[in-house]
Amino acid sequence: MPSNIMVVGSTNMDMVVNTSHIPVPGETVLADSFFMNPGGKGANQAVTIARLGGTVQFISKVGNDVFGRQASRMFDMEGVNTKHLFSDGELPSGVALITVEKSGENSIVVAPGANANLMPDDLKPAYSDINNSNILLMQLEIPIETVKFLSDYAASKNIRVVLNPAPAVILEDELLKKIDIITPNMIEAELISGIKVNNIEDVKNAAKRIHEKGVKTVIVTVGPLGAVVYNDGEINVVASPKVTPVDTTAAGDVFNGALVVALAENRSVLESTRFACIAASVSVTRKGAQSSIPYRNELMGELFSIESKET
């Protein structure tokens, strides 16, 4: 039986435009299309967990507005437990402005809204449910104060802490020491480690440096190449299936959600990373954030199809 997973993070409404290319400063580009899609890193990861068969509770804060009410209904439909979805009486729900170019790459600007007001004091009603969790998954679209508080709290309760350090910021070593698994992309790994990252060898060195700062397991996502895993003193490269990307929005969130689902099923770190790479590769072949998240039956039979490359 899968373990209980607690996700604490952001809920946004994504406003997406598809363009021929991402504009440079001062340039105006006519969009090919526009649509709105539920998003937010925390929400995307919680929905991923639910669709892939995990048992998930989600702690977040939304505005007392139409986007907040839509998010609540959507979570109910997805099977995400939102007992602790808080409503902010002053700030609006978060929104993200996303530009997707024809290659599938994107540029994102986030207005956090109520997400920026999810503070440690808000979490008091959720303590008992957090205590009953086996894995705590967080990102950085909520206040760093809250991330630090929860990392300390989870460590004191022997709850496994997984941090997706996005958006990229410099993190204190004291926080890193409380993290069991961290999942930066190459940009985030460079910022956290202080090592310039240009290739896979640089990624390996950055992963080692982050581990030296106190994180037990480091998983650096490297886009279509898959992920570099530093665990138990060993470095492995886990390949990702070759696909033609349509939209990379939320690929990292799908990776993280799939990762913790597999970990909750007591799979090894490498097996869990393979599963996460497969799920993320499916998501980039579809448009949108939550609209791109696969279901478990779409991944059946694929978990052991990719062999890791030990180096």
pTM of the entire predicted model? 0.90
**Structure confidence by residue, pLDDT tens digits, 279-304:** 999 999 988 778 899 999 888 655 44
**Structure confidence by residue, pLDDT tens digits, 138-164:** 999 999 999 999 999 999 999 999 999
pLDDT at 310 over 90: no
- Higher pLDDT: 26 or 108? It is 26
Does the annotation mark 88 as catalytic? no
pLDDT at 307 over 50: no
> Residue 2 and residue 284: Cα distance in Å, rounded?
26
| Matching residue, tokens 């992963």 | 207
- pLDDT score, position 299: 85
> Residue 172 and residue 232: Cα distance in Å, rounded?
22
> Residue 132 and residue 150: Cα distance in Å, rounded?
14
> Residue 45 and residue 54: Cα distance in Å, rounded?
11
pLDDT at 14 over 60: yes
**Structure confidence by residue, pLDDT tens digits, 180-236:** 999 999 999 999 999 999 999 999 999 999 999 999 999 999 999 999 999 999 999
Identify the band that residue 248 occupies on the pLDDT scale cut at 50, 70 and 90: confident
- pLDDT score, position 111: 93
pLDDT at 2 over 80: no
**Structure confidence by residue, pLDDT tens digits, 60-110:** 999 999 999 999 999 999 999 999 999 999 999 999 898 989 888 888 888
Identify the band that residue 308 occupies on the pLDDT scale cut at 50, 70 and 90: very low
pLDDT at 272 over 60: yes
Catalytic residue among 14, 180, 247, 253: 253
- pLDDT score, position 3: 65
Give the mean pLDDT of 266-290: 92
With pLDDT > 90 as the criterion, what percentage of the chain qualifies?
A: 83
